[in-house]
Structure formats: structure tokens, C-alpha cells
Amino acid sequence: MGFFSAGLGKTDNSQLSEIIKDGAFLVDVRTPAEFSAGSVREAVNIPLDKVQIQLSKFKDKKNIVVFCRSGNRSSQAKNILEQNGFQNVINGGTWENVHQLLNR
């Protein structure tokens, strides 16, 4: 847990960039309408209100990066996943942040 920073539990961007480039499972937890208006390539859309019932999609993933519009819903998604036993979840914050890191 050493690379988590204060605030919304977001990871330092340089370490987050490495995790993303290492093939993390990228999950946009915004609504389908928000997702279709623009997101991160390679990301899947699992809206926050569906995370709990879609837990099987997260199994066996080395690292999971959740993100949204502001970092609030991704923080909630991270909490839901951790409450269900997932230890490898990172709050990437905004989708724009993850997009920039992926395209470095």
C-alpha cells in the first residue's frame, strides 16, 4: 500500500502509469452514456451501480484500475471491490488522467 496517496486513495501517477502499461484491467465506472461520449481505449464500462453484480469480471486480474469523471464513483467502486476481497484495486481518478497516462 505504500504507493497510495492521500485523498481519494489514488496512486501516484508515475506508478499508476507503470501499472496501466503492465496491462491493468481498466474499468470506467461512469454511466453507459458517459462512456460512449468518450473514454479510454481498452477500458470496459461497468457502471458503479453494476459493480456489485459484475464481480466475476474482476476475478483473476493482476491489477484493476477504476476511474470515472471526478474520482468519486471510482473511489466507491474501489471500496466495493475491496469489501469483496479484491486487493489489487487502484483508483485512477478521472478518465482523462488514465487516458493521458495510457498515451504517454
Residue numbers annotated as active site: 68
**Given the C-alpha cell 474520482, which residue does it identify?**
71
Q: Is 47 within 8 Å of 29 (Cβ atoms)?
A: yes
d(CA 43, CA 66): 9
Q: Is 11 within 8 Å of 19 (Cβ atoms)?
A: yes
